[in-house]
Chain A
Amino acid sequence: DTGVSQNPRHKITKRGQNVTFRCDPISEHNRLYWYRQTLGQGPEFLTYFQNEAQLEKSRLLSDRFSAERPKGSFSTLEIQRTEQGDSAMYLCASSFVVAGGEQYFGPGTRLTVT
């Protein structure tokens, strides 16, 4: 399978716990994006990496959120001290940066904070 993969697919956690999600992009893609999608809405940009460098973060990404992409391969998104408002689908996308490189999305991780 050469598509974007994400794990876990579903995560249920209690408020206040920390969670970590993983994204494996398409192998030759050097750009990796994280988006968040809530019910009935389109995805919203959170942050992106070019290779291992995190180049931009949205205002949506509070201090409780941190993302890494060591060695420019897979990426992790960690949420500390989860809140009920963090419940959403977290989507990862990757692209090969040329002018307007097409972004391909993974299946997402559905987070439910109880």
Chain B
Amino acid sequence: QQQVKQSPQSLIVQKGGIPIINCAYENTAFDYFPWYQQFPGKGPALLIAIRPDVSEKKEGRFTISFNKSAKQFSLHIMDSQPGDSATYFCAASKGSGAGSYQLTFGKGTKLSVIP
């Protein structure tokens, strides 16, 4: 059972475009939702994260939108650049109370930004 579903699998945009990556989760106990960026041969790097008490969070060119009732969240990358070409993973975890806070990841979106 895949607890975090991510789409699309791949995405090609022109430089300056706004790629949008979507994720949906099933476990209502999840209350922490980070996004990671991964380049080939490297470990995932934390980009931005949100908790369900806010509907949007912006850090630089990256914005997370969160819809608690729909159990969905998305990543928007403003003014995308060729250097943003990477694989992006959404994740979710139980982020408070007792427990491991283990991350459950989506399958990833390979983004290509064309000059």
- Interface of A with B (CB < 8 Å)? 4, 6, 31, 33, 35, 40-45, 48, 55-56, 58, 91, 93, 95, 97, 99-108, 110
A95: which of B31, B45, B101, B106 is its contact (CB, 8 Å)? B101
Interface size class of B (residues with CB under 8 A): 20 to 34
CB nearest to B9 among chain A residues: A40
Instruction: Classify the secondary structure of B's interface with A.
Output: loop
Known interface pairs A103-B46, A104-B46; A48-B100 also in contact (CB < 8 Å): yes
Interface status of B60 (Cβ within 8 A of chain A) = no
**Complex contact A100–B46 (CB within 8 A):** no
CB nearest to A35 among chain B residues: B103
Q: Which residues of A contact B15 (CB under 8 A)?
A: none
Q: Which residues of A contact B31 (CB under 8 A)?
A: 100
Interface status of B96 (Cβ within 8 A of chain A) = yes
- Interface of B with A (CB < 8 Å)? 4, 6, 31-32, 34, 36, 41-46, 49, 51, 89, 91, 93, 95-97, 100-108
**Complex contact B91–A42 (CB within 8 A):** yes
Please name the 5 residue pairs, one residue from A and one from B, whose CB atoms are nearest each other, closest first: A100-B95, A42-B105, A105-B43, A100-B32, A45-B102
Q: Which residues of B contact A93 (CB under 8 A)?
A: 103
Q: Which residues of B contact A43 (CB under 8 A)?
A: 44, 89, 103, 105
B100: which of A6, A56, A91 is its contact (CB, 8 Å)? A56
CB nearest to B31 among chain A residues: A100
Q: Which residues of A contact B91 (CB under 8 A)?
A: 42
**Complex contact B102–A42 (CB within 8 A):** no
**Complex contact B100–A55 (CB within 8 A):** yes
